[in-house]
Amino acid sequence: MKIEKIANLLGCKPIIRNDIEVKNISPIDRATSTDLAFLSNPKYEKYLQSTKAGCVIVSDKINPDNYPTLNLVICKNPYLAFAKVLRLLFLPGTPEPSISKNTFLGENATIDETARVEDFAYIGRGAVIGKQTHIMPFVYIGENTKIGDNCIVYPNVTIREKCVIGNNVIIHSGSVIGSDGFGYADTEDGEHLKIPQIGNVVIEDNVEIGACVTIDRAALDSTVIKRGTKIDNLVQIGHNVEIGENSILVAQAGISGSTKLGKNVILAGQTGIAGHLTIADNVIITAKSGVGSSIKKSGVYSGIPVYDHKNWLKSSAVTPKLYEMYKKIKELEKRLEVIENAND
């Protein structure tokens, strides 16, 4: 693709010193004369001096006169522009419609004529598959589950009965949607009596779910993942949880039952959240934090249990010095004791 065409598609300004055709996309330090690269972080501007890239997407804060031999595409947000280029060139196209003869189709299952269902998928009774949705091999879709348009369900995904999947949803391999919630009642004998989980999971439009994610069905109502949310690999979401719009859940985060997250919440890796809590909109919880009470105000939180991130940083700076402080306190106590005894 010509540089000018790339710039026009992005709505950015091209600066062309050598009109080439871009053939690939590469990191700026390994790009060749026919590659497109990008630079979003100003601290790496030094790479513009040595790169061999055919063209570089850069910030409008970069002075192009400093690089008189480079082809540039000037954007306000180079990282976003780079993502758009990748989507233009590498997103999978519309799947070729087909239903494998090795697919199991339950009674009254409905598959749109534009969808693609591959070998050994199981489509349960009354299930619905929408337009241009791609179901890959060994996917299990339970009874009366509905999957919308333009979805991609990768191999070995399990979507159990009565779940509802919106449009433009991506579910990666090994994930389980609609597994039983972890609910038990203790008997007089101390046994744990399983509570039937008769609700479902609702996943709204434009959600992406990573590999080996588990989302439990609700006990009575719905576990809900709202539109635009992105979930990394190995995340556990308990029953009756609600995840607000455009939230991000990073790998190994875990959310206990009946907790509600607001919009634009970010849970960093290995964050744990207890059950029956409410997390406000625009909250960021940093890695390995533990949340044991509701968070009512937007902001950044850290620690176990979590508190304001800035205060946590101050506390963390003090923690390595605690033992030395303890020794000094003990020494001062001894001195004080000597002084008090002398006064007696």
Contact 35, 24 (CB under 8 A): yes
Q: Is residue 178 part of a domain?
A: yes
Instruction: Mark whether 193 and 268 lie in a shared domain.
Output: yes
Output the domain CATH number for residue 117. Answer: 2.160.10.10
Question: What pLDDT is recorded for position 92?
Answer: 77
Point out the residues of the chain with pLDDT beneath 50: none
Range of the domain at 19: 3-90
Q: Is residue 322 part of a domain?
A: no
Under 8 Å CB-to-CB from 226, ≥6 apart: which residues?
A: 204, 207, 242, 243, 244, 245, 247, 263
pTM, 2 dp: 0.91
133 shares a domain with 167: yes
72, 90, 108 - which closes a domain = 90
State in Å, rounded, how far the first CA of the chain is from the last one.
92
Asked if the structure places residue 289 within a domain, the reply is yes
Q: Are 292 and 274 in contact (CB under 8 A)?
A: yes
pLDDT of residue 93: 79
Question: What pLDDT does 90 receive?
Answer: 83
269 and 220 belong to one structural domain: yes
CATH of the domain at 16: 3.40.1390.10
Residues 106 and 123 in one domain: yes
Q: Are residues 30 and 155 in the same domain?
A: no
Q: How many domains does the chain divide into?
A: 2
Q: Measuring CA to CA, which residue among 249, 276, 275, 244 is closest to residue 261?
A: 244
Same domain assignment for residues 85 and 145: no
Average pLDDT, rounded, for the chain: 96
Which amino acids are annotated catalytic?
239
Claim to verify: residue 271 and residue 125 sit in the same structural domain = yes
Digit-coded pLDDT (tens) for 89-125: 887 778 899 999 999 999 999 999 999 999 999 999 9
Same domain, 85 and 123: no
